[in-house]
A and B are shown apart, each in its own frame.
Chain A
Amino acid sequence: MTFDIDLVFKVAAIGIVVAFIDIVLTKARRDEFAQVITLVGIAAVFLVVAQFLSHFFQAVRSIFNL
């Protein structure tokens, strides 16, 4: 099994892109859009990480007979 660095890159990329868009929108005096973009980005990241986390919980359960 290879290290799932793709997911780490994905989350980091979303974070950096959202930060960039946030800065641009804030400079353009569109603070409400900036907030919405940040919220959407966090929701997307949470979705991805939650799916990954469910994999992890299933693995721990099957190994340790929890």
Chain B
Amino acid sequence: MATIAQLAGASLIATLLLAVVRQHSPSFAVPLSLAVAVAVFLFILPDLVEVVRLVQGYALRGGIADSLLATVMRVLGIAYLTEIAAGVCRDAGEAALAQRVELGGKVLILLLAVPVLNAVLTLVLRLVP
């Protein structure tokens, strides 16, 4: 509970500061919003680690292969980084750049998913003669 209160309070303060900074020196608004995004991530980092460990524990109990789980984690990381980068770009008014970043993230995720897709396809082909 204290965590979400801290998060909400800090975000509100940052929003107020951003409103002032954007009006008086707009070039400082982008680094400021980037700093807030990174600070929020670093703040929830311990909890995120906890969640990831939980998922890994369930996967281990369910007998899911390590390589599959590693792929899922990589996809999650790419998605997270892409979202943050695209969000900052969009905040700075560079919607086109944000779209490029998102496209790059999609391509990389697809590339990572190719081995898994191949495995599924092989399985289906073996089942359907």
Contact = CB atoms under 8 A, between A and B. Distances in A.
Contacts, number: 113
Interface of B: 6-7, 10, 13-14, 17-18, 20-21, 24-25, 27-29, 31-32, 34-36, 38-43, 45-46, 48-49, 52, 70, 73-74, 76-78, 80-81
A16 B21 contact: yes
Contacts of A15: 21, 24-25, 28-29, 32
Interface residues of A, number: 35
12 contacts: A2-B6, A3-B7, A3-B43, A7-B35, A11-B31, A12-B20, A15-B24, A18-B28, A45-B31, A48-B35, A61-B77, A63-B48
A60 interface: yes
A20 B28 CA distance: 13
Nearest to A9: B17
A3 B17 contact: no
Interface centre among A11, A57, A59, A66 (most CB of B within 10 A): A11
Contacts of B70: 65
